[in-house]
Amino acid sequence: MNWQDYFPGVSDPRVVGRTDHKLNDILMIALCSTISDGDTFEDMADYGQDKQAFLRQFLELPNGIPSHDTFRRVLSLVRVDELDAVLRQQAARLLQTLAHRHVCLDGKELRGTIPAGRKHALVHLLSAWAVEHQQSLGQLRVESKTNEISLIKPLLSSLELTDSLVTIDAIACQPGIVAQLVEQGASYLIGLKANQDTLFEQVRDWMLRYESTPAHYTQRSLDHGRAELRELWLSPDLDLLETTQPWAGLNTLIMTRTHRWIGQQCSVTNRFYISNLATATAHQVGGYIREHWSIENQLHWRLDVVFGEDDSQVRHPLAAQNLALLRKMALSALRREPTPMSMNRKRKKAARDENYLLQVIQQL
């Protein structure tokens, strides 16, 4: 990998002639530090100082290692869309195509940016995720005074979704989003809640007729002291629904019922979905619903637990988004490196072992 040309599409926002450090050097040190158990701007500067001899093999470093203030300032200026394009190019090289793949969309607040006395974070990101390869496909920031719905269409438009399956939770249950997915040649499986009150009531009333019949698919699990029984029913019969016309391609209704036992307590939850997966079996649909949580368990959870994303106090919107992108690049590289050890151990090993860091970087 050419270290001096890894971020070719990212323009330098600084004043020409008044810079001591090359933009590519700054971003590469930041990425290497993120891979190597460094989560702050101070960590980036310290990593650069400790590894200066190693880094000079690949980077120019005309004026040595930037200070932590330089890392902070530059990552607060770099255009997020250009750094996001690097992540998308990385995903394109790894995946080649999204055809016949499962793509999830979900949002995440960066909880470290919640101001004192407020309920919501200053930075809320909507991400796309390829389930099979556990690969980030891009992100967009949810601006204040808006919500995720306004960004779902632009994020979908940025992806080539022909012949792929897209799963989204109930916030995306909007006729316009469903129509766009069909126009892009994708299949969809979308949660249904009371945000679509008439459709929800009709689907719920119709699907609850099945509850006295054997489930079309059943799955049991026992893990961490919690037992679950998951049941699923499919219905291709839409004749008694009066509100299906606005929903492009809709041909399948789904109900799941989850019985969860923790100790002596049992809870039962019904969930409903709409889809255009006419030929999928109940077993396949149940798998898709379970796999949707990959974006929570394999992306959001790892960003928080392995990279400390929710603990980051960086509140500048651009810096917070750019750091999130660097974490996703680092996560992809660490996950693809085949050594059988945890992510935390891989990060620590990359910090100690320069040869191992090179192996991780090569995964990009």
Q: In this predicted structure, what is the pLDDT of residue 140?
A: 95
Beta strands in 187-325 (DSSP E): 187-192, 217-223, 226-235, 252-262, 265-275
Q: Average of pLDDT values for 313-336? A: 95
Percent of the chain with pLDDT over 70: 99
How many domains does one find in the chain?
Answer: 2
Establish if 341 belongs to a structural domain. Answer: yes
CA dihedral for 245, 246, 248, 252, sign (positive or negative): negative
Verify that 272 and 325 share a domain, yes or no.
no
Longest dimension (CA), the chain: 75
**Helix/strand number for the chain, H first, E second:** 14, 9
Verify that 249 and 178 share a domain, yes or no.
yes
Verify that 342 and 251 share a domain, yes or no.
no
* Proportion of the chain in helix, strand, coil states, percent, rounded to 5: 45, 20, 35
Establish if 118 belongs to a structural domain. Answer: no
Host domain of residue 207 = 170-291
CA dihedral for 275, 276, 280, 284, sign (positive or negative): negative
Q: In this predicted structure, what is the pLDDT of residue 210?
A: 87
Verify that 276 and 322 share a domain, yes or no.
no
Verify that 322 and 216 share a domain, yes or no.
no
Verify that 327 and 262 share a domain, yes or no.
no
Give phi and psi for 233, each to the nearest 5: -125, 140
Establish if 176 belongs to a structural domain. Answer: yes
Where is average pLDDT lowest: 33-37, 201-205, 225-229? 225-229
Q: In this predicted structure, what is the pLDDT of residue 102?
A: 96
| The last residue of a domain, from among 274, 291, 308 | 291
pLDDT 10s digits, 5-23:
889 899 999 998 889 999 9
Establish if 123 belongs to a structural domain. Answer: no
Verify that 327 and 255 share a domain, yes or no.
no
Verify that 287 and 178 share a domain, yes or no.
yes
Give the C-alpha separation, 317 to 173, whole Å: 28
Verify that 237 and 321 share a domain, yes or no.
no
| pTM for this entry | 0.93
Verify that 210 and 284 share a domain, yes or no.
yes
Verify that 330 and 261 share a domain, yes or no.
no
* Helices 354-362 and 23-35, packing angle to 10 deg: 110
Verify that 215 and 325 share a domain, yes or no.
no
